[in-house]
Amino acid sequence: MPIAGASQASILCNIQAWVDRFDLAPCIRLQSQVTRAAATEDGWTVETPTNAYHSRFLICASGGHNRPFIPPVQRRAASILEFHSALLEDPGQLTGRDVVVVGGGASAYDLLDLCFEQIARRVMWVHRALRWMVPTRKPRHQAESLRDLARQQMSGASVQALSASMNLDLNARYDKFGLNGILPDHAFDFRNDQLIPGRARMIGHFNQIDQRPGEVLSFEGRTITLSSYETIQADLILWGTGYEMDLRFLDSPTLAHVKHVSQLAGRCGALFHALDMPRLFFLAVIL
């Protein structure tokens, strides 16, 4: 069941091929939110608004990014449109508008790219900590090959050596593309950083981005106040502030408060076997 390409349509066709090949449709319940999952003497009971399901094991595959996170800023009579990156359904709303993008990671890079694709009138970028990316002018699904990295790994190079080599390469790329102004404040380390493909339009229009390091404190009307107490005017704010885990459906006071994969990792053994509850497994931890 080969995948035809990296487009959304190709990925959907590939998923459908697996469903058809293994006759999975009767076992799938779409639009069925899990409201509660509780351990029993011999396994688990999983409840949805319409049914309850019983099993010996529970695999929680809801991922590490299943709840969009928007900072709790103060809003007073705000007339600004706002969307989290996961909830922007009509990119055409950016056209001809003054747009603020908030965040310093992959989601923010996507949104900045989208602003130039949709010809926003003005693009402002509010960021705090920045994530590393791999600068390139290629589309994100055609990002640089990882074969050289794989060869180094196969040769037995240590994580420290791989990180040092990648750090040199990334710094050279940032310099080549004129992106030294957004160099992260820490050296690249494979134990903590991801190789995020660069966004071609964002890089190509980098000099047109009005950067405002800091955070959003509040907004009133069309006026946004930043942590530096500067104010900016905007029509629309896009939150590229990432995601949190939401495990409150689990009948466990300990796990209900977990919001990040790093927190969950400390509560699992053997990669993804939960330590707090029996017969429970998390796939997100191995990310």
Q: What is the pLDDT of residue 38?
A: 95
pLDDT along the chain (287 residues), means of 10: 82 94 94 94 95 95 85 90 93 96 94 96 95 83 67 84 92 94 93 86 94 94 94 96 90 88 84 87 69
Question: What range defines the domain where residue 37 resides?
Answer: 31-65+261-286
Are 39 and 177 part of one and the same domain?
no
Are 218 and 275 part of one and the same domain?
no
Q: What is the pLDDT of residue 285?
A: 59
Q: What is the pLDDT of residue 143?
A: 59
Number of H helices, E strands in the chain: 7, 20
Q: Does residue 235 lie within any of the structural domains?
A: yes
Angle at 134 between CA 245 and CA 4, to 5 degrees: 75
Looking up tokens 């529970």 gives 58
**Distance (Å, whole) CA 200 – CA 196:** 12
Amino acid identity, residue 11? I
Q: What is the pLDDT of residue 267?
A: 86
Q: What is the pLDDT of residue 93?
A: 95
Handedness of CA 11, 17, 22, 24 (dihedral sign): positive
Q: Does residue 24 lie within any of the structural domains?
A: no
Q: Which of 84, 63, 131, 122 is nearest to 240 (CA)?
A: 84
Q: Which of 132, 98, 131, 128 is nearest to 115 (CA)?
A: 98
Are 236 and 271 part of one and the same domain?
no
Q: What is the pLDDT of residue 224?
A: 95
Q: What is the pLDDT of residue 8?
A: 83
Q: What is the pTM of this model?
A: 0.79
Are 224 and 161 part of one and the same domain?
yes
Token pair of 235, please? 């029509």
Q: Does residue 71 lie within any of the structural domains?
A: yes
Q: What is the pLDDT of residue 96?
A: 97
Contact 205, 144 (CB under 8 A): no
Q: Does residue 6 lie within any of the structural domains?
A: no
**Distance (Å, whole) CA 104 – CA 251:** 34
| Pairing verdict, β 44-47 and 52-55 | antiparallel
Q: What is the pLDDT of residue 197?
A: 85
Contact 218, 76 (CB under 8 A): yes
Are 180 and 81 part of one and the same domain?
yes
CATH of the domain at 87: 3.50.50.60
Amino acid identity, residue 278? P
**Residues in a beta bridge with 60:** 282
CB atoms within 10 A of CB 129: 11
Are 130 and 148 part of one and the same domain?
yes
Q: Does residue 138 lie within any of the structural domains?
A: yes
Q: Does residue 26 lie within any of the structural domains?
A: no
